Structure 1
Amino acid sequence: MPTVAIIDDDEAVREALGDLLHVSGLICRCFATAGAFLAALRTTHFDCIVTDVRMEGMSGIELLERLQKDRCDLPIIVLSSILDQQVRARALGLGAHCWLSKPVGDKRLLDALSAAMGSGSVAAGEGHSS
């Protein structure tokens, strides 16, 4: 089963997303910081990343920059409440598969995950970057 990393400093968001992915048949590992995720990435296989932008320590944009620098080709979905189009464009320019605005519907997120991992199609609209 695919393993998805959820990186968000909001515990309620991590729990809700983790529950959704679990009942959808995906394995999920949750991280409160990008640094904790990067430490786990050394020893754990992931198929996709879902990350927030605003977090303590390393931001989601800094994480994208780091992953790009390290030539990590994991699909990344940015899930954020930020409405700044420049930040959105930066994330997509750094290789994010898509940008979804919080709150996001379950189907929309699951469709984006499916598309990012190559097993489905994303719903038309704001999120898709290709």
Structure 2
Amino acid sequence: MASAPTVAIIDDDEDVRDALCELLEVMGFICLGFDGGSAFLSEFSSGRFDCVITDIRMPEISGLDVIDRLRRIDSRTPVIVLTSAMDEYSRQRAEASGACAYLMKPVDDAMMLKALQSALAGSAFGDTDPHSDAG
């Protein structure tokens, strides 16, 4: 059997990072937290992470810049944006850069897990049930 998927969590808010890592670890994922884009990019290597979850507003390197840099070196790693940035520009830029999902903080655990499962299944065109949580 394949090993558990490894997920990178990039957020400058330690409480958010820790809570999300705890949730994902309970669900069977391997989770590594990073306090910003610089820390993540210095540790990144192609194939190391099965998915990246990033905040947008962070010091030094924004989550949008992380996505852009990641796309230049590895276009296959799925990215989920988890942010409090409600502006349409950020949403459109994340989408144009290939983000799989744009979720608002605080996010419901079930919604986060559904987005993560969909992102991980992306190579299979996201085999998800179109009737689940349709409301």
Q: What is aligned with 1:75?
A: 78
Answering whether residue 20 of structure 2 is matched by residue 17 of structure 1, we say yes
| Structure 1 residue ranges without an equivalent (≥5) | 126-130
CA contact (8 A) 1:112 1:121 kept: no
SS state of the match for residue 77, structure 1? Answer: strand
Structure 2: how far apart are the matches of 1:116 and 1:27? 15
* 1:21-59 Cα deviation digits (max 9, x unpaired): 010010000000111111111387110000000001100
Over 3 Å counting, the alpha-carbon distance change for 1:19 and 1:120 in structure 2 is: farther
TM-score after normalising by structure 1: 0.89
CA contact (8 A) 1:8 1:32 kept: yes
Greater shift in the superposed pair: 51-60 or 38-47: 38-47
CA contact (8 A) 1:5 1:30 kept: yes
| Structure 2 residue ranges without an equivalent (≥5) | none
Runs (4 or more) in structure 1 with deviation over 4 Å come to: 122-125
TM-score after normalising by structure 2: 0.86
Q: What is aligned with 2:9?
A: 6
Q: How many residue pairs align between the two structures?
A: 125
Structure 2: how far apart are the matches of 1:21 and 1:82? 23
Counterpart code for 2:65: E
Answering whether residue 67 of structure 2 is matched by residue 60 of structure 1, we say no
* 1:61-85 Cα deviation digits (max 9, x unpaired): 1111111222431000000001101
SS state of the match for residue 121, structure 1? Answer: coil
Q: What is aligned with 2:128?
A: 121
SS state of the match for residue 50, structure 1? Answer: strand
Q: What is aligned with 1:128?
A: none
Structure 2: how far apart are the matches of 1:89 and 1:109? 20
Aligned partner (choices 27, 41, 48) of residue 30 of structure 2: 27
Identity of aligned residues (%): 44
Answering whether residue 102 of structure 2 is matched by residue 99 of structure 1, we say yes
